[in-house]
């Protein structure tokens, strides 16, 4: 499936879009980690939850967590909030 990568994480992938496989969001992230070491830690916290400033959308619907199911035809979008003042 297609995975869109936010600009803040492109230092890992060196591209805005990549391919991944898995039956859940967590499995997709594990696959990305295998190809791009370190990326999962930027998306998932120490309690194995999606970080507060990250949103993951699966074919337009926000994923509730790492167990959110995905299918091969889905598009996964990782969105990282920007902050500042």
| pTM as predicted | 0.92
Give the strand order in the sheet containing 17-19. Answer: 17-19, 2-4, 75-80, 54-58, 61-62
Whether pLDDT at 82 is above 80? no
**Residue 85: its pLDDT value, please?**
58
Q: Considering the domain 2-80, what is its CATH architecture?
A: Roll (3.10)
Do the beta carbons of residue 57 and residue 79 sit within 8 Å? yes
**Residue 12: its pLDDT value, please?**
96
pLDDT digit string, tens, across residues 8-64: 999 999 999 999 999 999 999 999 999 999 999 999 999 999 999 999 999 999 999
Distance CA 80, CA 44 (A): 12
């Amino acid at each position: 499936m297609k995975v869109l990568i936010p600009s803040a994480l492109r230092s890992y992938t060196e591209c805005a879009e990549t391919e991944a496989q898995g039956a859940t969001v967590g499995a997709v992230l594990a696959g990305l980690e295998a190809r791009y070491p370190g990326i999962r830690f930027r998306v998932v916290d120490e309690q194995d939850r999606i970080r507060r400033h990250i949103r993951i959308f699966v074919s337009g619907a926000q994923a509730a967590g790492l167990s959110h199911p995905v299918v091969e035809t889905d598009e996964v979008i990782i969105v990282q909030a920007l902050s500042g003042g």
